[in-house]
Structure 1
């Protein structure tokens, strides 16, 4: 686990394929040494309509949802690694942000249903 959710303004797809940004996020998660690569879940959401202060400003935002119990230092390191990985793309006039969201470990539920 974590669940890494990439949100971005759709106009950026012309410059960087979303799969490339997801790959950069995955590599940052691996580099953090907090997660095994097979536990990292990634997905993306493009936004067709977006505004900041009444203007259409391009953005990339990553929400990292992880089970509670990680130290502030681990979360800060992961956040910075993801931010550094994304800002290496040659995007200009873009706002980048990374958000760490704890999921309560005691109430989180999961079940994987496989075909037989």
Structure 2
């Protein structure tokens, strides 16, 4: 299960479509082969209050935080981060050429000690897949 949270500065909405980022990063995470479909959650959060670097109002940011279950080695976590960064860079290439833009991807393991989950998505997806 990864939870992918895309935070972005509000000044990007006219140039970068948030739902397009959600779809592209969701697909990229699946394409890595590391995560099951039923475990994947991707969402975006617009940030209206922010300062980037020197405070120039043209500066913008997109920060992608990925929280994954325990057990993936460092090489796998790095591969996921690189795959997501490649998509993020592709999706923002034009904007990157025109303004100050800080992009980041951080993949971190969730400490399972106090991380509780209940869902029925795995079963529902299996049931849908049967003819």
Q: TM-score, normalised by structure 2?
A: 0.79
Matched ranges for 1:43-62 at <5 A? 43-55=43-55, 56=57, 57-62=59-64
Q: 1:24-103 residue pairs with structure 2 within 5 A?
A: 24-55=24-55, 56=57, 57-89=59-91, 90-92=94-96, 93-103=100-110
Unaligned runs of at least 5 residues, structure 1: none
For the pair 1:109 / 2:116, whether they are aligned, the reply is yes
Q: How many residues align?
A: 113
Structure 2 residues not aligned, in runs of 5+? 121-131
Give runs of ≥4 in structure 1 deviating > 3 Å. none
The structure where strand makes up a greater share of residues is 1
Q: Equivalent residue for 1:20?
A: 20
- Say if 2:52 and 2:61, in contact at 8 Å, map to a contact too: no
Structure showing the higher helix proportion among its residues: 2
- Rate the CA distance shift 1:37–1:112 in 2: closer, same or farther, 3 A: closer
For the residues of structure 1 that align with 2:17 and 2:38, how far apart are their CA atoms?
22
